[in-house]
Structure 1
Amino acid sequence: MNKVIETIMSRRSCRCFDPERMPSEETIQQICEAGTWSPTSRGQQNPIIIAVTNKELRDRISRMNSAIITGKNLVTSTPPGADPFYGAPCMLIVLVKESPNAMYDGPIVMQTLMLAAESLGVNSIWIHRAKEEFESEEGKQILRDLGIEGDYIGIGHVALGYAAKPLQEPKPRKEDYIYWAK
Protein backbone atom coordinates (compact mmCIF):
# COMPACT_ATOMS: atom_id res chain seq x y z
CA MET A 1 0.00 0.00 0.00
CA ASN A 2 1.12 3.58 -0.63
CA LYS A 3 2.96 4.93 2.44
CA VAL A 4 0.91 8.16 2.62
CA ILE A 5 -2.40 6.30 2.42
CA GLU A 6 -1.15 3.81 5.00
CA THR A 7 -0.31 6.70 7.36
CA ILE A 8 -3.77 8.23 6.84
CA MET A 9 -5.45 4.91 7.59
CA SER A 10 -3.32 4.05 10.62
CA ARG A 11 -3.52 7.39 12.50
CA ARG A 12 -5.69 7.29 15.62
CA SER A 13 -6.47 9.91 18.22
CA CYS A 14 -4.58 9.37 21.46
CA ARG A 15 -6.52 10.00 24.67
CA CYS A 16 -3.89 8.91 27.17
CA PHE A 17 -0.40 10.37 26.77
CA ASP A 18 2.69 9.65 28.82
CA PRO A 19 3.32 13.16 30.24
CA GLU A 20 7.01 12.35 30.78
CA ARG A 21 7.78 11.41 27.15
CA MET A 22 8.29 14.62 25.19
CA PRO A 23 9.03 14.25 21.47
CA SER A 24 12.50 15.56 20.65
CA GLU A 25 12.88 19.16 19.54
CA GLU A 26 14.05 17.88 16.14
CA THR A 27 10.89 15.76 15.76
CA ILE A 28 8.61 18.65 16.77
CA GLN A 29 10.43 20.88 14.29
CA GLN A 30 9.93 18.31 11.51
CA ILE A 31 6.21 18.08 12.28
CA CYS A 32 5.86 21.88 12.29
CA GLU A 33 7.84 22.20 9.06
CA ALA A 34 5.48 19.71 7.40
CA GLY A 35 2.56 21.89 8.52
CA THR A 36 4.05 24.87 6.69
CA TRP A 37 3.71 22.93 3.42
CA SER A 38 -0.06 22.63 3.76
CA PRO A 39 -2.01 24.17 0.90
CA THR A 40 -3.48 27.59 1.68
CA SER A 41 -5.85 29.82 -0.22
CA ARG A 42 -3.97 31.66 -2.98
CA GLY A 43 -0.73 30.54 -1.34
CA GLN A 44 -1.07 33.30 1.28
CA GLN A 45 0.19 31.13 4.16
CA ASN A 46 -2.12 32.84 6.67
CA PRO A 47 -1.92 30.15 9.37
CA ILE A 48 0.73 30.15 12.09
CA ILE A 49 1.81 27.29 14.35
CA ILE A 50 2.77 27.81 17.99
CA ALA A 51 4.78 24.91 19.41
CA VAL A 52 4.28 24.77 23.17
CA THR A 53 6.73 22.64 25.14
CA ASN A 54 6.90 24.94 28.17
CA LYS A 55 4.99 23.04 30.88
CA GLU A 56 3.79 26.18 32.66
CA LEU A 57 2.26 27.63 29.47
CA ARG A 58 0.91 24.22 28.44
CA ASP A 59 -0.83 23.85 31.81
CA ARG A 60 -2.19 27.41 31.64
CA ILE A 61 -3.73 26.75 28.22
CA SER A 62 -5.12 23.45 29.52
CA ARG A 63 -6.85 25.29 32.39
CA MET A 64 -8.27 27.86 29.96
CA ASN A 65 -9.58 25.08 27.72
CA SER A 66 -11.10 23.21 30.65
CA ALA A 67 -12.83 26.40 31.85
CA ILE A 68 -14.43 26.79 28.41
CA ILE A 69 -15.75 23.22 28.58
CA THR A 70 -17.19 23.82 32.05
CA GLY A 71 -18.52 27.33 31.32
CA LYS A 72 -20.41 26.20 28.24
CA ASN A 73 -21.56 22.89 29.76
CA LEU A 74 -20.04 21.12 26.77
CA VAL A 75 -20.39 17.37 26.51
CA THR A 76 -16.91 15.98 25.97
CA SER A 77 -14.99 12.84 26.84
CA THR A 78 -13.03 14.94 29.36
CA PRO A 79 -14.53 15.14 32.87
CA PRO A 80 -14.87 18.67 34.30
CA GLY A 81 -11.54 19.90 35.65
CA ALA A 82 -9.56 17.12 33.95
CA ASP A 83 -6.79 17.86 31.45
CA PRO A 84 -8.47 18.25 28.05
CA PHE A 85 -5.08 17.50 26.45
CA TYR A 86 -4.96 14.02 27.99
CA GLY A 87 -1.53 14.56 29.55
CA ALA A 88 0.24 15.36 26.26
CA PRO A 89 3.51 17.13 27.07
CA CYS A 90 3.47 19.18 23.85
CA MET A 91 0.84 21.05 21.90
CA LEU A 92 0.87 22.72 18.52
CA ILE A 93 -1.64 25.55 18.28
CA VAL A 94 -2.86 26.58 14.85
CA LEU A 95 -4.12 30.12 14.41
CA VAL A 96 -5.00 31.84 11.16
CA LYS A 97 -5.27 35.48 10.16
CA GLU A 98 -8.79 36.68 9.47
CA SER A 99 -9.49 36.10 5.80
CA PRO A 100 -12.35 34.77 3.66
CA ASN A 101 -10.79 31.30 3.65
CA ALA A 102 -9.41 31.16 7.21
CA MET A 103 -11.74 28.35 8.22
CA TYR A 104 -10.46 26.23 5.34
CA ASP A 105 -6.73 26.95 5.56
CA GLY A 106 -6.34 26.28 9.30
CA PRO A 107 -7.87 22.78 9.41
CA ILE A 108 -5.67 21.66 6.51
CA VAL A 109 -2.64 22.60 8.59
CA MET A 110 -4.10 20.68 11.55
CA GLN A 111 -4.51 17.53 9.45
CA THR A 112 -1.02 17.86 7.99
CA LEU A 113 0.49 18.18 11.47
CA MET A 114 -1.31 15.05 12.70
CA LEU A 115 -0.28 13.01 9.65
CA ALA A 116 3.33 14.20 9.93
CA ALA A 117 3.33 13.21 13.61
CA GLU A 118 1.98 9.75 12.78
CA SER A 119 4.61 9.27 10.09
CA LEU A 120 7.30 9.96 12.73
CA GLY A 121 5.81 7.64 15.35
CA VAL A 122 4.33 10.44 17.48
CA ASN A 123 0.74 10.21 18.69
CA SER A 124 -1.71 13.09 18.45
CA ILE A 125 -5.25 14.30 18.91
CA TRP A 126 -7.09 17.41 17.69
CA ILE A 127 -8.40 19.46 20.60
CA HIS A 128 -10.98 22.18 20.00
CA ARG A 129 -11.75 25.50 21.73
CA ALA A 130 -8.67 27.43 20.50
CA LYS A 131 -11.07 29.99 19.01
CA GLU A 132 -12.55 30.79 22.41
CA GLU A 133 -9.15 30.72 24.13
CA PHE A 134 -7.59 33.27 21.83
CA GLU A 135 -10.66 35.51 21.72
CA SER A 136 -10.26 35.96 25.48
CA GLU A 137 -8.11 38.67 27.03
CA GLU A 138 -5.89 36.01 28.57
CA GLY A 139 -5.38 34.36 25.18
CA LYS A 140 -4.63 37.70 23.52
CA GLN A 141 -2.08 38.39 26.27
CA ILE A 142 -0.40 35.04 25.65
CA LEU A 143 -0.01 35.99 21.98
CA ARG A 144 1.40 39.42 22.90
CA ASP A 145 3.83 37.77 25.33
CA LEU A 146 5.00 35.53 22.48
CA GLY A 147 5.44 38.54 20.20
CA ILE A 148 2.55 37.56 17.93
CA GLU A 149 0.68 40.55 16.58
CA GLY A 150 -2.41 40.76 14.43
CA ASP A 151 -5.93 39.43 14.43
CA TYR A 152 -5.75 35.66 14.59
CA ILE A 153 -8.52 33.11 14.91
CA GLY A 154 -7.80 29.98 16.95
CA ILE A 155 -8.40 26.86 14.86
CA GLY A 156 -7.29 24.10 17.20
CA HIS A 157 -4.56 22.34 19.11
CA VAL A 158 -2.67 19.23 18.12
CA ALA A 159 -1.73 17.53 21.37
CA LEU A 160 1.50 15.57 20.79
CA GLY A 161 3.37 12.89 22.66
CA TYR A 162 3.56 9.14 23.08
CA ALA A 163 0.66 6.94 24.11
CA ALA A 164 0.66 5.64 27.68
CA LYS A 165 -1.59 2.74 26.65
CA PRO A 166 -2.67 1.12 23.37
CA LEU A 167 -4.85 3.21 21.08
CA GLN A 168 -8.40 2.20 20.19
CA GLU A 169 -9.00 0.08 17.13
CA PRO A 170 -10.57 1.95 14.22
CA LYS A 171 -14.31 1.90 13.79
CA PRO A 172 -15.54 0.28 10.57
CA ARG A 173 -16.22 2.81 7.83
CA LYS A 174 -19.93 3.46 7.31
CA GLU A 175 -21.59 2.02 4.21
CA ASP A 176 -22.81 5.31 2.75
CA TYR A 177 -19.54 7.25 3.12
CA ILE A 178 -18.85 7.48 -0.62
CA TYR A 179 -21.28 8.31 -3.40
CA TRP A 180 -20.00 7.89 -6.90
CA ALA A 181 -21.51 9.66 -9.91
CA LYS A 182 -20.19 7.90 -13.01
Structure 2
Amino acid sequence: MSEATIRDLQTRRAIRQFQSAAPSAELLDLVLKTGTYAPTGQGKQAPVIIAVQDPQLRAQLTRMNAEYAKPGTDPYYGAPVIILVLADSTVGTWVEDGSCVLCTMMQAAHALGLGSVWIHRERQMFDSAEGKALLKEWGLSENLRGVGALALGQPAGEAPQPKPRKADYILKL
Protein backbone atom coordinates (compact mmCIF):
# COMPACT_ATOMS: atom_id res chain seq x y z
CA MET A 1 0.00 0.00 0.00
CA SER A 2 1.11 3.52 -0.56
CA GLU A 3 1.75 5.86 2.34
CA ALA A 4 -1.22 7.97 1.20
CA THR A 5 -3.51 4.93 1.42
CA ILE A 6 -2.29 4.12 4.93
CA ARG A 7 -2.73 7.77 5.95
CA ASP A 8 -6.31 7.76 4.59
CA LEU A 9 -7.11 4.55 6.46
CA GLN A 10 -5.75 5.97 9.71
CA THR A 11 -7.29 9.45 9.45
CA ARG A 12 -10.89 8.68 8.46
CA ARG A 13 -13.32 9.81 11.16
CA ALA A 14 -17.08 9.81 11.59
CA ILE A 15 -18.43 13.14 10.37
CA ARG A 16 -21.67 14.35 11.93
CA GLN A 17 -21.94 17.87 10.48
CA PHE A 18 -22.51 18.38 6.78
CA GLN A 19 -22.86 21.23 4.33
CA SER A 20 -26.31 21.34 2.76
CA ALA A 21 -25.08 21.06 -0.84
CA ALA A 22 -24.83 17.53 -2.17
CA PRO A 23 -21.48 16.22 -3.40
CA SER A 24 -20.99 16.36 -7.16
CA ALA A 25 -22.51 13.51 -9.14
CA GLU A 26 -18.97 12.49 -10.14
CA LEU A 27 -17.81 12.12 -6.52
CA LEU A 28 -20.99 10.35 -5.44
CA ASP A 29 -20.75 7.91 -8.34
CA LEU A 30 -17.13 7.18 -7.48
CA VAL A 31 -18.00 6.40 -3.85
CA LEU A 32 -20.88 4.16 -4.94
CA LYS A 33 -18.84 2.35 -7.60
CA THR A 34 -15.99 1.80 -5.14
CA GLY A 35 -18.48 0.15 -2.78
CA THR A 36 -19.19 -2.47 -5.43
CA TYR A 37 -15.56 -3.58 -5.18
CA ALA A 38 -15.82 -4.48 -1.49
CA PRO A 39 -15.12 -8.12 -0.69
CA THR A 40 -18.15 -10.38 -0.44
CA GLY A 41 -18.44 -14.01 0.59
CA GLN A 42 -17.71 -16.29 -2.38
CA GLY A 43 -17.93 -13.20 -4.59
CA LYS A 44 -21.75 -13.41 -4.47
CA GLN A 45 -22.19 -9.63 -4.25
CA ALA A 46 -25.24 -10.01 -1.98
CA PRO A 47 -25.54 -6.28 -1.06
CA VAL A 48 -27.61 -3.65 -2.81
CA ILE A 49 -26.59 0.00 -2.54
CA ILE A 50 -29.32 2.66 -2.67
CA ALA A 51 -28.31 6.33 -2.86
CA VAL A 52 -31.08 8.64 -1.68
CA GLN A 53 -31.07 12.36 -2.46
CA ASP A 54 -34.79 12.97 -2.94
CA PRO A 55 -35.90 15.27 -0.08
CA GLN A 56 -39.25 13.50 0.47
CA LEU A 57 -37.67 10.06 0.63
CA ARG A 58 -34.87 11.42 2.87
CA ALA A 59 -37.56 12.76 5.21
CA GLN A 60 -39.36 9.41 5.24
CA LEU A 61 -36.17 7.47 5.98
CA THR A 62 -35.23 9.99 8.68
CA ARG A 63 -38.61 9.54 10.37
CA MET A 64 -38.44 5.75 10.07
CA ASN A 65 -34.94 5.56 11.56
CA ALA A 66 -35.71 8.04 14.34
CA GLU A 67 -38.67 5.89 15.44
CA TYR A 68 -36.13 3.29 16.58
CA ALA A 69 -33.78 5.81 18.17
CA LYS A 70 -35.15 9.18 19.22
CA PRO A 71 -38.33 10.35 17.50
CA GLY A 72 -38.16 13.86 16.08
CA THR A 73 -34.39 13.80 15.53
CA ASP A 74 -32.39 13.45 12.34
CA PRO A 75 -30.26 10.32 12.73
CA TYR A 76 -28.61 11.17 9.39
CA TYR A 77 -27.30 14.51 10.72
CA GLY A 78 -28.79 16.53 7.86
CA ALA A 79 -26.48 14.92 5.31
CA PRO A 80 -27.60 15.62 1.74
CA VAL A 81 -27.16 11.96 0.75
CA ILE A 82 -28.25 8.80 2.55
CA ILE A 83 -26.69 5.62 1.23
CA LEU A 84 -28.60 2.52 2.28
CA VAL A 85 -26.92 -0.87 2.19
CA LEU A 86 -29.20 -3.87 2.20
CA ALA A 87 -28.21 -7.45 1.50
CA ASP A 88 -29.80 -10.73 0.48
CA SER A 89 -30.42 -12.49 3.79
CA THR A 90 -30.45 -15.91 2.10
CA VAL A 91 -26.68 -15.53 1.65
CA GLY A 92 -24.85 -16.71 4.78
CA THR A 93 -22.46 -13.75 4.83
CA TRP A 94 -25.04 -11.01 4.19
CA VAL A 95 -24.17 -8.95 7.28
CA GLU A 96 -20.43 -9.20 6.72
CA ASP A 97 -20.81 -8.44 3.00
CA GLY A 98 -22.91 -5.34 3.65
CA SER A 99 -20.50 -4.23 6.37
CA CYS A 100 -17.57 -4.47 3.97
CA VAL A 101 -19.47 -2.37 1.43
CA LEU A 102 -20.18 0.31 4.04
CA CYS A 103 -16.55 0.41 5.22
CA THR A 104 -15.23 0.55 1.67
CA MET A 105 -17.51 3.48 0.82
CA MET A 106 -16.53 5.34 4.02
CA GLN A 107 -12.87 5.01 3.07
CA ALA A 108 -13.54 6.08 -0.53
CA ALA A 109 -15.50 9.11 0.68
CA HIS A 110 -12.66 10.15 2.98
CA ALA A 111 -10.06 9.73 0.23
CA LEU A 112 -12.17 12.05 -1.96
CA GLY A 113 -12.53 14.73 0.73
CA LEU A 114 -16.12 13.81 1.65
CA GLY A 115 -17.42 13.00 5.10
CA SER A 116 -19.53 10.07 6.21
CA VAL A 117 -20.81 8.29 9.27
CA TRP A 118 -22.26 4.79 9.60
CA ILE A 119 -25.89 4.85 10.73
CA HIS A 120 -27.62 1.89 12.36
CA ARG A 121 -31.24 0.73 12.58
CA GLU A 122 -31.74 0.00 8.87
CA ARG A 123 -32.39 -3.63 9.80
CA GLN A 124 -35.39 -2.62 11.91
CA MET A 125 -36.52 -0.14 9.26
CA PHE A 126 -36.56 -2.67 6.42
CA ASP A 127 -37.94 -5.49 8.54
CA SER A 128 -40.99 -3.29 9.22
CA ALA A 129 -44.14 -3.24 7.11
CA GLU A 130 -43.24 0.26 5.87
CA GLY A 131 -39.76 -0.89 4.91
CA LYS A 132 -41.09 -3.97 3.12
CA ALA A 133 -43.49 -1.68 1.22
CA LEU A 134 -40.53 0.46 0.09
CA LEU A 135 -38.70 -2.62 -1.14
CA LYS A 136 -41.76 -3.61 -3.14
CA GLU A 137 -42.17 -0.07 -4.51
CA TRP A 138 -38.52 -0.08 -5.60
CA GLY A 139 -38.88 -3.51 -7.23
CA LEU A 140 -36.47 -5.16 -4.80
CA SER A 141 -36.56 -8.60 -3.22
CA GLU A 142 -38.23 -9.19 0.15
CA ASN A 143 -35.10 -11.16 1.04
CA LEU A 144 -33.18 -7.91 1.41
CA ARG A 145 -32.50 -6.80 4.97
CA GLY A 146 -30.91 -3.61 6.15
CA VAL A 147 -27.26 -3.75 7.16
CA GLY A 148 -26.65 -0.04 7.69
CA ALA A 149 -26.47 3.32 5.99
CA LEU A 150 -24.07 6.16 5.46
CA ALA A 151 -24.85 9.80 5.94
CA LEU A 152 -22.68 11.38 3.24
CA GLY A 153 -21.72 14.88 2.20
CA GLN A 154 -19.16 17.66 2.38
CA PRO A 155 -18.00 18.08 5.98
CA ALA A 156 -19.08 21.31 7.70
CA GLY A 157 -15.98 21.67 9.80
CA GLU A 158 -12.91 19.80 10.90
CA ALA A 159 -12.91 16.07 11.54
CA PRO A 160 -12.77 15.10 15.21
CA GLN A 161 -9.44 14.02 16.66
CA PRO A 162 -8.95 10.29 17.07
CA LYS A 163 -9.25 8.69 20.46
CA PRO A 164 -6.05 7.09 21.72
CA ARG A 165 -5.74 3.45 20.66
CA LYS A 166 -6.24 1.07 23.59
CA ALA A 167 -3.12 -0.64 24.89
CA ASP A 168 -4.41 -4.19 24.45
CA TYR A 169 -5.77 -3.74 20.91
CA ILE A 170 -3.15 -6.04 19.38
CA LEU A 171 -1.94 -9.34 20.76
CA LYS A 172 1.07 -10.97 19.06
CA LEU A 173 1.48 -14.66 19.82
Q: Per the shorter chain, which TM-score range?
A: over 0.9
Within 2, Cα distance between the matches of 1:66 and 1:165?
24
Flag as ranges the 4+ runs of structure 1 deviating above 4 A.
Answer: none
Residue 104 of structure 1 deviates from its aligned partner by: 1.2
In structure 1, list runs of 5 or more residues that go unmatched.
71-79
TM-score, with length taken from structure 2? 0.94
CA RMSD of aligned residues (A): 1.2
Within 2, Cα distance between the matches of 1:22 and 1:67?
25
Partner of 1:59: 59
Partner of 1:128: 120
Within 1, Cα distance between the matches of 2:147 and 2:107?
17
Partner of 2:23: 23
In structure 2, list runs of 5 or more residues that go unmatched.
none
Within 2, Cα distance between the matches of 1:167 and 1:41?
32
Residue 10 of structure 1 deviates from its aligned partner by: 1.0
TM-score, with length taken from structure 1? 0.90
Q: Matches of residues 1-182 of structure 1 in structure 2 within 5 Å?
A: 2-18=3-19, 20-70=20-70, 80-98=71-89, 99-181=91-173
- Alpha-carbon displacement from aligned partner over 1:79-108 (angstroms, at most 9, x marks no partner): x52211111010111001012111211100
SS in 2 for 1:17: coil
Residue 168 of structure 1 deviates from its aligned partner by: 1.3
Match of 1:117, as an amino acid? A
Residue 144 of structure 1 deviates from its aligned partner by: 1.7
Within 2, Cα distance between the matches of 1:83 and 1:175?
35
SS in 2 for 1:48: strand
